[in-house]
A = this chain, B = another copy of it.
């Protein structure tokens, strides 16, 4: 990696790769499935940060593959993330009206179509992962391992389980332990799986995969702590949504348990730990190092 590495350039370029690729999915002219395709594209192409796909591609690069070679898997990860947002926003869950500065799916299309749009995204993600032609440069066996990795992270032991736990806490006392465990499932599992997917598809050694997992666990938690902080002191305009929603909902949060200052420090400590696991990759991990810092410094 050259010394003049620019994270903003890196993020811009990789986000563009993802955005362009995503625009190619659900591009249907067939009248019968136009409504559902439109609903999917409304949420999928609404300009997220694309952090999961970028982590996937950066992990592939860290083990010596090209971002483009794992782009389809990166898109699948963003589809799963988007489906989870659509379902989380539903009236029966968080009942949010806005997301990324626009009406949520059920507000724009109705609850029925929103549920189905989420279902469609989740299914398409696994279709892509099982489609040989989507990643012609990746050996077949790795596709299967990646698919399993993602399913485990997204399923009831991971993301879905975390969301269930969030809407129906099983432990009445909101301790730090309980909070860590919730977020390890709800957001941590898929972030970690994004890195592991890039690494697996890229043919990582066992040791490289382990290091990326440790990195992923820590940035996942730091990401959530930062989300909680932004909900307290972020700028609603930059965030594209109202702040203070955690407090209104009486949610247990890191700032609520630790205070703002200690939460910021915890996030920074986690990032420092995360970065320490990247040493083995040398210059190839420059983007991952910068991304780790970006995760706690971001304003949205």
Contact surface of A with B, Cβ cutoff 8 Å: 26, 28, 31-37, 40, 83, 87, 90, 92-93, 110-113, 115-116, 118-120, 122-124, 126-127, 129-132, 140-141, 143-145, 147-148, 151-152, 154-157, 160-161, 163-165, 167-168, 170-171, 181, 185
Contacts and interface: CB of A to CB of B under 8 A. Distances in A.
B152 A127 contact: yes
A215 to B, nearest CB: 24
How many identical chains are in the complex? Answer: 2
A165 B115 contact: no
A120 to B, nearest CB: 4
A115 B92 contact: yes
27 contacts: A31-B170, A32-B161, A32-B165, A32-B170, A32-B181, A36-B156, A36-B161, A87-B115, A90-B115, A92-B111, A93-B115, A116-B167, A119-B119, A120-B155, A120-B156, A120-B161, A122-B122, A123-B154, A124-B155, A124-B156, A126-B126, A127-B151, A129-B147, A130-B130, A130-B144, A130-B148, A130-B151
Nearest to A120: B156
A34 B164 CA distance: 10
A156 B111 contact: no
B92 A35 contact: no
- Interface centre among A145, A152, A155, A168, by most chain B C-beta atoms within 10 angstroms, is A155
A80 B244 CA distance: 38
Contacts of A127: 148, 151-152, 155
Contacts of A161: 32-33, 36, 120
A120 B156 CA distance: 5
